[in-house]
Amino acid sequence: MFKLPTLLDGAMGTMLQKSGMAPGTIPETLNLTDPEKVAAVHRAYIRAGSHAVYANTFGANALKLKQTGYTPAEVIAAGIRIARECAAETGAMVGLDVGPLGVMLEPLGSLPFEDAVRLYAEIMRAGAENGADLIAIETMSDLAETRAALIAAREETDLPVFVTMSFDTTGRTFTGCTPASMARTMEGLGATAVGVNCSLGPKEMIPIVREIAENTRLPVIAKPNAGLPDPVTGEYGVDAEGFAAAMQELAAAGAEILGGCCGTDPDYIRALGNGMTQWAGTAGQRRGSVRTGAVCTGPVCLETDRVRVIGERINPTGKKRLQQALLEEDLDYLVNLAIQQQDAGADLLDLNVGYPGVDEVQMLPRAVKAIQAAVDLPLQLDTTNPAALEAALRVYNGKAAVNSVNGKEESLATVLPLVKKYGAAVVGLTLDESGIPDTAEKRVKIAEKILKRAEAIGIPREDVWIDCLVLTVSAQQEQAAETLRAVRLVTEELGLKTVLGVSNISFGLPNRLLITQTFLAAALEAGLTMPIVNPNLPEVMNVIAARRVLDGTDEGCRAYVERYAGTEEKKTTPGAEMSLQDAIRKGLRKEAGRLTAGAIETRGEMEIVEQELIPALEKTGEEYEQGKVFLPQLLSAAQAAQAAFEEIRGSLVKKGEKGTERGTVIMATVQGDIHDIGKNIVITVLENYGYRVTDLGKDVPPETIVREAEEKSVRLVGLSALMTTTLPAMAETVRQLKALKTPPLVMVGGAVVTADYARSIGADFYAKDVRDAVKITNSVFS
Amino acid sequence: MEERIRSLAEEALRYLGAARADRETHRMAEETAELLTKKLRPQYTWRAFRLQREAGGFLMLEAGIVLGGTLAERMLADCETAVLLTCTLGAAFDRMLQEWQARDMARAAVLDACGSAFTETGCDEAGQEIASRFAGQFLTDRFSPGYGDLPLTLQGEILRALDATRRLGVTANESCLLIPCKSVTAVIGLSDRMQPARIRGCGLCGMKENCKYRKKGETCGV
């Protein structure tokens, strides 16, 4: 095991360049072609005093080495052997250096998370088999990729793992991850030390190191660049002495494993080592000093040190429209529920997709990915299915909350290990084999048991939240007071954060909101930290806003004042009633929805679709063709129509009637192509003509499109491509589709596609724009 | 409103073929441009490389990249040095666009176009910085993989030469598409002699077969 404080080495890449490595060479191949060049760098660092050197394996992954003919295993074996031979001189440790794969993971790019884990697993195995003393995952900028690497390291080896990411001057990584989120997520997943490397010079790193130190119990690593390189000369701006001096400040900010990155050389490390007696004194003093619980996503680290609202809306129990969306795998509907709650002020979102006929193991991780692509709020994964929970925890990008474990032996034994492995927070329900106890004291006992079991496997106490359980007051009146008492006891005696599903309290009573509001206020007073509520109800959020004023977390009452400023004046302007068609053509979503809801009371749903929605869309479409309205307006109208359709669907679902669908169309952006807004625009409009669109997404392999077309036996497939380099994938997809026994019609479009090209690859239609796509679809289904 | 935001909005609407849209749409574009410029800034990195004429084109010495083909031949004819440039709005833009698509597709389409225009202004800014570092020299027009016969496969090589994945978080996929989506790689030649504007009109444009402006007998103005 390594000792603290630790002196690491400096740059490898820039050193190899200086020693004459040919431009364009993949540096890791030198392990096999010119090992002496690599050994010289290691020896220089070891003689400069490094306690550990990183082997020349940064880019030794299957993707980057593909061109070279070498495998990661042989490059890594050679790299570690070279470092080991040099390290023998002083007994320095040898690190397996692991950098990014060089391609983007979903959702930004196309590499699936599990593929990344597999690629990293190959590297970690090779490192462990060849005797690395530790693993250094570094220069990462995507939290998802960093998670994949650390999960692979943990699953394949028992070695200590250092994890560092690169942050820019805005204090975030290139993908928007904060230092706090990085620290919380990586500590949860079992890193040995966390920190920052590359990208910045030592001075610019100070605030980042401080934020990391405040969010972890682990030792903090700092490996800055020697400033920034000059674009003309390639020289870095900070010299060895300046570097070593600035590093003292980084140590004071909390770093205790220090080294250098790009532009540093053995002189920098020697200077750093010379000052070590000074920095060793301050380093590590901050470790573990601040400790509040938190859950996070890359961009948002949410501490549980104050009242936080958990949105309850993504739960199909009693919600027909959501049940239908889940059965139809309509993830956009879930994303919209998430966005609504975010806008209404939720701090984290409960996510439950359990419903008969829904495969939770598939659906929960898909829902996590879809929501996380558009919404930054942390999620609380709500399921009783351990396989679904693990699948979702694996892909969840950040530190999740799990809802829930309870006092039953089976639950403790299955849920807690998953919470530990993926570093989540967990809600503990105060019930066990004998049900829900009727006194506060007995519920606290169960809470204690859950806490003890969690701590026994290494889940820190701040990550255990207790749900003292709300029972319906109209059925068990005396229990309301017991629940409140239990919340107070758990808060005061165990010092744990609490969660409550508040809305339950008022079930079955008239004027439910009044009971809910009053109970919520009382529970918050008793110490409740995280009410699970419907944030879309302003009355509920009013109580929260008031509470935040009274407990002082809304400093200067700013949020409260902002919430209510101007509400007096906000009156709807009365005026001439607008027609539904006008509302759609003007793109007024709320108005279109409201007018449709009104119209449903007197007219049939289908009549409204045929006499109002379609004619309004047609008129806008015609004006678009004539150049009187333009794409943004066309889309606004489509969305207003969507709001109207949503009312109609809701009404039909309530009556148990079949939908308004005119036919199913498959849409996809072809393999290799990741720009899909054009395809999404077409989908938005098609859906408003009553078509059901199966959106296969972007970068879709031909086989997936063919399989889907065959399974759903659709009549029309729409394909989009944006780049000349992806046109061959479009041609191949068309070829495979046309080879089916009953081939679908194919429409193609996208920036580089032409009518001639469409003909040449055997497509049936070329859609030059969104309006054209609608006309083609109408002609196919007429 | 700042002139910079207004011109960004105008440029975005032009990309969308909606320059003549109603006032409401113009206002939406201006709001979008304002939000975007408040939230993000284009980031760029560049480096100068010496050129050496070889049989296959120009070898960029410290990068080990060869710029072949007739476009490079024309553009760099008078140059002994050339700059490689990468500019990006970063992954935050991709996230923003994703969220906006879920909220409002009309605004998302406008945001997408604003993002393209904003990235171009980042390249212009980099161009000015380069010009000031090489005072007394003349810059050629900026040109990119995909223009004329300059192959898209250069995207990845340019990223490597600039260490742009590490420095800016930009990657290229197997189809040579850059991720994050609003990212550009480019080449600018440096010469002792005055450089004419060579990239004008449609001759070099990869979109010329399918350009919506050309179909209407107009040009995009580049």
DSSP letters spanning A627-645? TSS-HHHHHHHHHHHHHHH
∠ CA A459-A461-A462, rounded to 5° = 110
Predicted confidence at residue B72, as pLDDT, reads 94
Report the gap between the CA of A675 and the closest CA in chain B (Å). Answer: 7
pLDDT, residue B203, reads 62
Task: Determine which of B173, B190, B218 to mutate to test the interface with A (most A C-beta atoms within 10 Å).
Answer: B173
Mutate to test the interface with B, among A64, A173, A232, A693 (most CBs of B within 10 A): A232
Give residue A712's Cα distance to chain centre.
31
Q: What is the pLDDT at residue B200? A: 62
Residue B17 domain flag: no
Is A572-656 the same fold as A6-282? no
Q: Where are the domains of chain A?
A: 6-282, 294-564, 572-656, 661-782
Instruction: Return the bridge partners of A294, or none.
Output: A303
For A225, name the nearest residue in chain B, comparing CA atoms only: B167
Q: Architecture of domain A294-564 in CATH?
A: Alpha-Beta Barrel (3.20)
Instruction: Retrieve residue A532's tokens.
Output: 């699970």
B179 CB neighbours in chain A (<8 A) are 104, 108-109, 674
Q: Is A168 on the interface with B (CB under 8 A)?
A: yes
Pairing of strands A255-258, A6-7: parallel
In angstroms, what separates the C-alpha of A473 from chain B's closest C-alpha?
38
Of residues A374, A674, A677, nearest to B109 (C-beta) = A677
List of chain A residues whose C-beta atoms are within 8 Å of the C-beta of residue B188:
none
Q: Which fold has domain A6-282?
A: TIM Barrel (3.20.20)
- Letter for the amino acid at A400? A
The DSSP code for A726 is G
Q: Any idea which architecture A572-656 has in CATH?
A: Orthogonal Bundle (1.10)
Band the pLDDT of B209: cuts 50, 70, 90. low
The amino acid sitting at A93 is M
Q: CB distance from A138 to chain B under 8 Å?
A: no
Q: Which residue reads 């320095």 in tokens? A: A92
Residues of B in contact with A677 (CB under 8 A): 97, 101, 108-109, 112
Contact A52/B at CB under 8 A: no
Contact B169, B90 (CB under 8 A): yes
Three-class HEC string of A161-230: EEEEECCCCCCCCCCCCCHHHHHHHHHHCCCCEEEEECCCCHHHHHHHHHHHHCCCCCCEEEECCCCCEC
Give a yes or no: residue B221 inside a domain: no
| A529 near B CB under 8 A | no
Q: Which of B20, B52, B84, B95 to mutate to test the interface with A (most CBs of A within 10 A)?
A: B95
- Check CB contact under 8 Å for B171 and A109: yes
Closest partner residue to A754 (CB to CB) among B17, B98, B210 is B210
Q: What is the pLDDT of residues B32-80, one digit of tens each?
A: 999 999 999 999 999 999 999 998 899 999 899 999 999 999 999 999 9
Per-residue confidence (pLDDT) for residue A570, from 0 to 100: 44
Calculate how close chain B gets to A140, using CA atoms only, in Å: 8
Strands of A214-347, DSSP E: 220-223, 255-258, 294-297, 301-303, 310-314
Contact between chains at A630 and B20 (C-beta distance less than 8 A): yes
CB A104 within 8 A of CB A131: no
Boundaries of domain holding B120: 43-195
Can you tell me the distance from the alpha carbon of A650 to that of A661, in angstroms, rounded to the nearest whole number?
A: 14
Q: Are β-strands B138-139 and A379-382 bridged in parallel, bridged antiparallel, or unpaired?
A: unpaired
Which chain B residues touch A627 with a CB distance below 8 Å?
20
What percentage of residues in chain B have a pLDDT greater than 90? Answer: 74
Q: Which two tokens stand for residue A53?
A: 């050197």
Eight-state DSSP code of residue B182 = S
Amino acid identity of residue A280, one-letter, is A
Nearest-neighbour CA in chain A from B129: distance (Å): 11
**Cα nearest neighbour of A634 on chain B:** B106
Q: Is there a contact between A724 and B152 if contact means CB atoms under 8 Å apart? A: yes
**Which three-class secondary structure state does DSSP give residue A571?**
coil
Q: What is the mean pLDDT of each run of 10 residues along chain A (782 residues)?
A: 88 92 92 97 97 97 94 98 96 97 91 97 98 98 97 98 95 94 98 96 95 94 94 91 94 94 96 84 66 93 97 95 92 93 96 97 97 95 98 98 97 98 98 96 98 97 97 96 98 97 95 97 98 97 97 95 73 65 91 92 88 91 89 91 88 76 91 90 88 92 95 94 90 96 95 92 94 94 88
Q: How far is A316 from chain B (nearest CA, A)?
A: 21
Please report residues of B whose CB lies closer than 8 A to that of A680. Answer: 101, 105, 108
Nearest to A339 among B103, B146, B210 (CB): B103
Our count of domains for chain B comes to 1
Put residue A527 in one of left, alpha, beta given phi > 0 → left and psi -120 to 50 → alpha. Answer: left
Residue type, A695: D
Q: Residue A35: what pLDDT?
A: 97
Work out how many CB contacts closer than 8 A connect A with B.
168
**Burial class of residue A6, CB neighbours in 10 A (0-12, 13-18, 19+):** buried
Count of C-beta atoms within a 10 Å radius of residue B216? 10
Place of tokens 């701040």: A462
Is pTM beyond 0.90? Reply is yes
d(CA A393, CA A51): 36
- Contact flag A636-B106 (C-beta cutoff 8 Å): yes
Q: Establish if B77 belongs to a structural domain.
A: yes
Q: What residues of chain B lie within 8 A of the CB of A199, using their CB?
A: 166-167
CA distance A553 to A532: 19
A693 DSSP assignment = E
For residue B203, the SS3 value is coil
Q: How far apart are alpha carbons A275 and A255 in whole angstroms?
A: 14
Q: Report, at the CATH architecture level, how domain A661-782 is classified.
A: 3-Layer(aba) Sandwich (3.40)
pLDDT at A569: 47
Q: Which of B20, B98, B133 sits opposite A232 (nearest CB)?
A: B133
In Å, the largest CA–CA distance within chain B is: 56
In a domain, B155, yes or no: yes
Give chain B positions within 8 Å (CB) of A638. Answer: 105-106
Q: Note whether residue B211 is domain-resident.
A: no
Single-letter code of the amino acid located at A544: I
One-letter amino acid at B198 equals R
By C-alpha distance, the chain A residue nearest B12 is: A632
The shortest CB-CB distance from B165 to any of A100, A724, A753 is to: A100
Q: Please give the angle made by the CA atoms of B85, B86 and B89, to the nearest 5 degrees.
A: 145
Rounded to 5°, the CA angle A597-A599-A602 comes to: 120
Instruction: Please state, in angstroms and rounded to a whole number, the distance separating the CA atoms of residues B26 and B37.
Output: 16
CB A600 within 8 A of CB A621: no
State the burial class of residue A30 (Cβ atoms within 10 Å of its Cβ: 0-12, 13-18, 19+).
buried
Residue B23 located in a structural domain = no
Q: Is A667 helix (H, G, I), strand (E, B) or coil?
A: strand
For CA atoms B122, B127, B132, B133, the dihedral sign is positive
Is the residue at B16 inside a domain? no
| Cβ pair B75, B143 in contact under 8 A | yes
Distance of CA B185 to the CA centre of its chain: 6
**Is residue A651 within 8 angstroms of chain B, CB to CB?**
no
* Contact status, residue A580 vs residue A610, Cβ threshold 8 Å: no
User: What are B187's two structure tokens?
Assistant: 């080449």
- State phi, psi for B38 to the nearest 5 degrees: -70, -40
Residue A236, min C-alpha distance to chain B (Å): 13
How many whole angstroms separate alpha carbon A663 and alpha carbon A644?
19
Burial readout A187-203 (b: 16 or more C-beta within 10 A, e: otherwise): bbbbbbbbbbbbbbbbb
Burial profile A91-112: b = 16 or more Cβ within 10 angstroms, e = fewer: ebbbbbbbbbbbbbbbbbbbbe
Count of Cβ atoms closer than 10 Å to residue A67 Cβ = 9
Neighbours of A256 (CB within 10 A): 24
Residue A541 and residue A309 in contact, taking contact as beta carbons nearer than 8 Å: yes
Domain contains B63: yes
Tell me which residues of chain A, numbers 212 to 241, contact chain B at a CB-CB cutoff of 8 Å. Answer: 229, 231-232, 234
Classify residue B116 as exposed, middle or buried by CB count within 10 Å of its CB (0-12, 13-18, 19+): middle
With CB atoms and an 8 Å threshold, state whether B166 touches A199. Answer: yes
Calculate the dihedral angle through the C-alpha atoms of A291, A293, A298, A300, rounding to the nearest 10 degrees: -100
Out of A234, A335, A672, name the one closest to residue B175 (CB). Answer: A672
H or E element that contains A13: helix A13-18
**Which chain B residues are closer than 8 Å to A336 by Cβ?**
102
- Identify the CATH number of the domain in which residue B155 sits: 3.40.109.40
- Region label for A458, one of left (φ > 0), alpha (ψ between -120 and 50) or beta (otherwise): left
Q: What is the DSSP letter of A472?
A: -
